[in-house]
Amino acid sequence: MAEEVDLFVIGAGSGGVRAARISSGYGARVMIAEEYRVGGTCVIRGCVPKKLLVYASRFAEDFEDAAGFGWTVPEPKFDWATLIANKDREIARLEAAYKANLERAKVQIVKSRAVIVDPHTVKLTATGETVRARNILIATGGWPSLGKDIEGHEHVISSNEAFDLKELPKRILIQGGGYIAVEFAGVFNGLGSEVTLVYRGENILRGFDDDVRNHLRAEMEKRGIRILTKKIVEGIEKVNGGLCVELSDHEDIMVDKVMFATGRRPNVKGLGLEAAGVKLGETGAIAVNEYSQTNVPHIYAVGDVTDRVALTPVAIREGHAFADTVFGKKPTPVDHTNVPTAVFSEPECGVIGLTEAQACDRLAKVDIYKTTFRPMKATLSGRDTRTFMKLVVDGMTDRVVGAHLVGPDAGEMIQLIGIAVKMKATKADFDATMAVHPTASEELVTMREKSATHIRQAAE
Ligand SMILES: Cc1cc2nc3c(=O)[nH]c(=O)nc-3n(C[C@H](O)[C@H](O)[C@H](O)COP(=O)(O)OP(=O)(O)OC[C@H]3O[C@@H](n4cnc5c(N)ncnc54)[C@H](O)[C@@H]3O)c2cc1C
């Protein structure tokens, strides 16, 4: 007879691991299946290795900047193989820690792909065994989408492969304008590659505040990244000495690697959703309610596979809320508003809440406070760089409804601004907060002059 569990979790990534541990803590008998490596995208080939590469890439500027502070630095040399080996060691350590945490929580881990064969049965493809489950949680994440097949598509890598390249490419072309594209552009640029970013839209970071998009683009260009917008890659040909990339305007670019960061799709293929009767939404993601419940009452889905906000902390929160709801008898919806987020580009971006354009669409009166300034460190280093900060304020209530930063440590700053925004802080609350001097973030509490006020016609 097939084994029986209270909860079968498909996918041991950010959302699945949290849901499994907390559910088990509530006394549920839990099994979790992982087809690749425990930890999922974030730990194995996402946030964590990405941030390690970002750290590595930033030393290039640090060595240069040191001269202005009196240091003589011998010509620095970089070794890609050392970085990747060290990164792999850290990822293996984290994977082991994730497994140990699951085992300590008495969750049974199975190393296999799992597919749903009927609404209460999951099959482990590694052994052919089936497991009966009272509840099923789908936490299979997302997968890079490389768009339509073009000539030479077999030469294209995604972020998955970028983490394990045998050597650092001398020249790389990255197609895409989202956060993964701009982050990798910064990484390869910092490590010494010649980087071309190609994006079909008007500007990078679609969906972000326009000032952030323009400011980051200018900063990336100052660092030598070539950004080509309103163009796409039409074809790739392997030629002696590299890859020849043909763009839609017929320009040919010679590079050593081509990476596409053209979005991620919910990982639902071959999962057996039809067998279970689970419905997808319009975007191809699993449709769920605010409790992450699908149209089949005992089947739930969390994380990127539901395409709500595709970020690790959100997947974790959804996984935890699922466990509280189903096994903790505490129905817990997840609030997806005002999620602070960072882009680990060079320089970094930190954003929360409404962009200026969104605020103008939704609010009767919008006040904008913004500033750009030279970071203090750049005064002695001589680096040509500027920090940008903007607060978007509801002109009727004085509430800060958006904050948008580009500059060093913007990711760290936005985490804390996030608390204030979530607490519905007003601009007056920001102003009443004493500055910390000398910092960049003191600008956030000392912006006195409005840069603009927008009043919606109908509201006048
Ligand atoms: C390059 C990159 C950088 C990122 N950087 C950040 C960042 O800085 N900050 C941030 O918050 N987010 C970042 N993200 C996003 C973040 O990684 C995801 O939002 C997060 O991992 C989603 O968690 P999840 O649980 O939904 O899925 P995942 O973590 O993707 O886990 C899904 C797991 O399910 C497994 N699986 C899939 N199908 C099956 C099956 N049928 N059977 C068994 N196992 C299966 C997969 O192997 C995978 O391990 C990044 C993503 C990428 C790709």
| Cα 314 to averaged position of ligand 1 atoms, centre (Å) | 11
* Best residue for ligand 1 mutational test, from 41, 122, 188 (most atoms within 8 Å of Cβ): 41
Looking at ligand 1, which atom is closest to the CA of residue 184? 1
- Short-list 222, 227, 221, 188, CA closest to 204: 227
pLDDT at 293 over 70: yes
Q: How confident is the model at residue 3 (pLDDT cuts 50, 70, 90)?
A: confident
Q: Give me the mean pLDDT over the 76-97 stretch.
A: 98
Counting residues of the chain whose pLDDT is more than 70, the rounded percentage is 99
The residue contributing the CA closest to ligand 1 atom 15 is 311
The residue contributing the CA closest to ligand 1 atom 31 is 13
The residue contributing the CA closest to ligand 1 atom 2 is 46
Position 322 scores a pLDDT of 98
pLDDT at 459 over 60: no
Question: Are the C-beta atoms of 304 and 267 separated by less than 8 Å?
Answer: yes
What are the pLDDT digits (tens) for 63-86?
A: 999 999 999 999 999 999 999 999
- Can 454 be counted among the known catalytic residues? no
pLDDT at 170 over 90: yes
Looking at ligand 1, which atom is closest to the CA of residue 344? 8
The residue contributing the CA closest to ligand 1 atom 35 is 11
Q: SS3 letters for 351-402?
A: EEECCHHHHHHHCCEEEEEEEEECCHHHHHHCCCCCEEEEEEEECCCCEEEE
- Tell me which amino acid residue 382 is: G
Position 456 scores a pLDDT of 87
Residue 60 vs residues 56, 136, 155: alpha-carbon distances, Å: 8, 47, 29
* Two structure tokens written together for 204: 């990078």
Backbone angles phi, psi at 227, to 5 degrees: -110, 120
Position 302 scores a pLDDT of 98
Q: Give me the mean pLDDT over the 26-47 stretch.
A: 98
pLDDT at 113 over 90: yes
Position 458 scores a pLDDT of 60
Backbone angles phi, psi at 327, to 5 degrees: -110, -20
Position 262 scores a pLDDT of 96
pLDDT at 457 over 80: no
252-255 and 242-247 beta bridge pairing: antiparallel
34 lines ligand 1 (CB under 6 A): yes
421 lines ligand 1 (CB under 6 A): no
pLDDT at 1 over 60: no
Looking at ligand 1, which atom is closest to the CA of residue 270? 41
Q: Give me the mean pLDDT over the 5-18 stretch.
A: 98
Q: How confident is the model at residue 372 (pLDDT cuts 50, 70, 90)?
A: very high
Query: How far, in Å, CA of 227 to CA of 65, rounded?
Result: 25
Q: Is 246 helix (H, G, I), strand (E, B) or coil?
A: strand
What are the pLDDT digits (tens) for 421-439?
A: 999 999 999 999 999 999 9
Q: Give me the mean pLDDT over the 3-26 stretch.
A: 97
If you average pLDDT over every residue of the chain, what do you get? 97
pLDDT at 148 over 90: no
- 212 vs 148, residue with greater confidence: 212
50 lines ligand 1 (CB under 6 A): yes
Position 123 scores a pLDDT of 98
11 lines ligand 1 (CB under 6 A): yes
Q: How confident is the model at residue 147 (pLDDT cuts 50, 70, 90)?
A: confident
What are the pLDDT digits (tens) for 315-338?
A: 999 999 999 999 999 999 999 999
Please list, in sequence order, all residues whose beta carbon lies within 8 angstroms of the beta carbon of residue 298, skipping any fewer than 6 positions away. Answer: 119, 120, 134, 135, 136
pLDDT at 460 over 70: no
* Best residue for ligand 1 mutational test, from 8, 47, 322 (most atoms within 8 Å of Cβ): 47
Query: How far, in Å, CA of 221 to CA of 49, rounded?
Result: 25
- pTM for this predicted structure: 0.97
